[in-house]
Amino acid sequence: MNKEELIQRYFDGNLSSVESKQFEKLLDSNPSFKSEINAHINLNKHLEKSSYKLSNDDIRFVKQIEKNLLEKGCTEKGFMSRFKPSFLNISLIAIVLIVVSAIVFNSFITSETDNKDQNINNSLNIRSEIKKQDLHEEDIKYSQETDENSNIKSIENDANKQIQESDIEKVNANNQIPNELNSETGNSKDGSIYGEIIEENKIKNSEILNGLEQELKEYTKANNRQMIILTLKRLGVLYAQMNDVDTGLDKLEQAYSLYMSSGNNILNADILGEISLIYSRSGNKTKADDYRQKCLDLLIDEPENLSKWMKRFNK
């Protein structure tokens, strides 16, 4: 047995009685061996003292984890998801709160307007619902029929939902006043009240539009073509609803020119149809017919969409 092996066995406590005697003999007779053993003893002493000692704070933490592990049912499956539920729960609570507050806000606006003119609201609410339904149908069609990849589809859907459910709804809500009062004059029996409503709603609508314009800038910066087109389309429809026909048409034309390159007839037809409806509402029958024809031409091979647009035009 060599010296190193002997030392190792000594520190491991594996020496036999004969080996132990050999070791002690060597220790007494050989000073360099003795100093080597002393160095090992010294090292062991320091190593043993250097181990990490748990502080009181550490011990508290370890106990707390033990408590959590045992209290929260560590013997059951799915423990992980229940042990770390905070993020998921907070997210769910946040979503529920947002939905509830949106409903409350919407009902508040509706009820406030109801008090002003119940009869006008009834008719306008119906119109608003029809518009929402139409827009919703369009959005579903977009997501179902687009040739782009599924990722883009989901982005479109999200964007559509966002715009449709928040912005258009708000604009519709803000437009809960008679058409004649939407004009600049605002003359009516209760002119003063309606004048205030018009001003208030104008501010709200312009905030929504500013938000969308800002988003458009960001999408342009990010070169996100799909989102640019969708935002332009929404802006066009919203501007037109707010009687800013020229800007609305401008936005829709831009969206159309971008969609043209996509070669998707259904999407192109949708934009052309919107343009036609705006011209029709603004009384420009020639242009309305022109765009109407373009829209329908594109849908010759799409009977379902063709009939949808025919219905919308006939309304």
Partner 1 sequence: MLGKNLSNLSDEELFLQYIKGSGDDFFRELYQRYSGKVYAYCMRASVTKEAARDNFQKTWIAIIENKEKFTGGCFIAWLMIITRNNCLMEKRARKPNDEFIENEIISNDDNKIDFEMNKLLHVEINKLPEELSEVVKLRYFDGFSYKQISDILGVSLSLVKVRLHRAKKALTLALEFLRKEQ
Q: Does 86 bind partner 1 (CB under 8 A)?
A: no
Give the nearer residue to partner 1 in terms of CB position, either 49 or 221.
49
Q: Are 190 and 138 in contact (CB under 8 A)?
A: no
| Interface region with partner 1, contact rule CB under 8 A, candidates 54-62, 135-143, 154-162, 285-293 | 54-62
Q: In angstroms, what is the C-alpha Rg of the chain?
A: 38
Q: Which of 25, 28, 34, 54 binds partner 1 (CB under 8 A)?
A: 54
Q: Does 56 bind partner 1 (CB under 8 A)?
A: no
Residue with tokens 């132990």: 20
Give the nearer residue to partner 1 in terms of CB position, either 51 or 86.
51
Q: Which residues contact residue 267 at a Cβ distance below 8 angstroms, ignoring those fewer than 6 apart?
A: 142, 145, 146, 229, 259
Q: Does 88 bind partner 1 (CB under 8 A)?
A: no
Specify the length of the chain in residues: 315
Classify residue 301 by burial, with Cβ atoms within 10 Å: 0-12, 13-18, 19+.
exposed
Q: Does 3 bind partner 1 (CB under 8 A)?
A: no
Q: Does 50 bind partner 1 (CB under 8 A)?
A: yes
Q: Does 83 bind partner 1 (CB under 8 A)?
A: yes
Give the nearer residue to partner 1 in terms of CB position, either 47 or 118.
47
Q: Which of residues 5-44 bind partner 1 (CB under 8 A)?
A: 8, 12, 36, 39-40, 42-44
Q: Does 49 bind partner 1 (CB under 8 A)?
A: yes
Give the nearer residue to partner 1 in terms of CB position, either 18 or 80.
80
Give the nearer residue to partner 1 in terms of CB position, either 12 or 301.
12
d(CA 274, CA 272): 5
- Quick one: CA torsion of 148, 275, 213, 91, rounded to 10 degrees? -50
Q: How many other CB atoms sit within 10 Å of the CB of residue 8?
A: 13
Q: What is the DSSP string of 258-310?
A: HHHTTT-HHHHHHHHHHHHHHHHHTT-HHHHHHHHHHHHHHTTT-HHHHHHHH
Q: Which residues bind partner 1 (CB under 8 A)?
A: 4, 8, 12, 36, 39-40, 42-44, 46-55, 58, 61-62, 65-66, 69-70, 74-75, 79-80, 83
